[in-house]
Amino acid sequence: MPFLSTSNYRPGLLFKNAHIQTIYPPLFRKVKNIHYERERIFTPDHDFIDIDWSRAGGDKVVIILHGLEGHSRRSYVLGMIRAFNTRRWDAVAFNFRGCSGQPNRLIRSYHCGATEDLHTVLRHVMNRKRYTCISLVGFSVGGNLALMYLGEKKYPISPLIKSAAAVSVPCDLESCANKLAQRSNILYMKRFLMMFHNKIRIKMRMMPNEIDDSNYHLIRTFKDFDDQYTAPIHGFSSARDYWNKCSCRQFLLGIDIPVLLISARDDPFLGKECYPVNEAKNSRLLYFEMPDHGGHVGFVDFKQSGEYWHENRIAAFVTKKA
């Protein structure tokens, strides 16, 4: 029963505040000396995905999946890549469609259940080099995507994938959407909606007859946005249909490799349904750890090595399972 009800993460007094944990890393953390080589992959539907390689010369590789409106230069991605490069693992940062700094070609974008894109990246990485071991590490919606891919089994899971880890995962998308709609999270919500709007404006210039923002000023929540854009563009009947089909919690017991899931109890983005305690208690392979503090993709630490707590924890877990 690998539900880990206690954790050794102990932040300083200031970082017991969930919002400080959430905001501090993107504003102040600098991770240097990660040197990327970009590669463009073409998808079966004639679009493209950009991935960034950080090679350490090893025979093992980790694929990092970023969070909502993230990309390969986010500090949490760079920190995780550095932790694995230090341990002589190659690393690949998977930029979701439209997140690499250049808009993708199609009206569709990424979403929480786009497992076909992860499968495309995995096949490409396996064809590039004869790795002996692959691991997936996802953050927030990237964690949802990785866990859904492993548990859904829409695509055959390569035996080279030995383990996975995920941080601050919205395992129940509706619960997460409702939590972010609360007044206490209004600043986060406004920021996400502004970022979404910028991408819609770009798509309007590219394909003016297929998408518009005429009623965007009425959108206040993820439900509004997903009903108007995400669901119809990606073949779902509604926001709730999208959330129901793409929440990874329903697939967790189908995962048959070791997985470490870390979500802080004080995460301001996650509703109670995002914490799969019962699934972990009924699994031999899902290690679910719930530190009291950490916010959303926080887990700030000030070790001399520069690694945050979750980076050391994940790297130790994954290397042990390799």
Q: Express each pLDDT in 87-127 by its tens digit.
A: 999 999 999 999 999 999 999 999 999 999 999 999 999 99
Of the chain, the percentage scoring pLDDT greater than 90 comes to 96
Task: State CA 225 to chain mean position distance.
Answer: 19
Identify the pLDDT of residue 41: 97
Identify the pLDDT of residue 304: 80
Q: Please give the Cα distance from 249 to 148 (Å, whole number).
A: 8
The pLDDT of residue 144 is above 80: yes
The pLDDT of residue 294 is above 80: yes
Identify the pLDDT of residue 305: 87
Q: Express each pLDDT in 28-42 by its tens digit.
A: 999 999 999 999 999
Query: Using DSSP, how many helices (H) and how many strands (E) does the chain show?
Result: 11, 9
Q: What is the mean pLDDT of residues 220-238?
A: 98
Q: Both ends of the chain: CA-CA distance in Å?
A: 21
Give the model's confidence band at 6: pLDDT under 50 very low, under 70 low, under 90 confident, else very high: confident
Q: Where are the alpha helices (DSSP H) in 140-235?
A: 141-152, 173-180, 186-206, 222-225, 231-234
Identify the pLDDT of residue 20: 98
Q: Which amino acid is at 319?
A: T
Identify the pLDDT of residue 161: 98
Give the model's confidence band at 162: pLDDT under 50 very low, under 70 low, under 90 confident, else very high: very high
Beta strands (DSSP E) in 24-146 are 37-42, 48-54, 60-65, 90-94, 133-139
Give the model's confidence band at 316: pLDDT under 50 very low, under 70 low, under 90 confident, else very high: very high
Give the model's confidence band at 153: pLDDT under 50 very low, under 70 low, under 90 confident, else very high: very high
Q: Please give the Cα distance from 223 to 225 (Å, whole number).
A: 5
Domain boundaries, the chain: 3-172+248-321, 173-246
Average pLDDT, the chain: 96
Tell me the fold of 3-172+248-321: Rossmann fold (3.40.50)
The pLDDT of residue 258 is above 70: yes
The pLDDT of residue 149 is above 60: yes
Q: Please give the Cα distance from 10 to 130 (Å, whole number).
A: 40
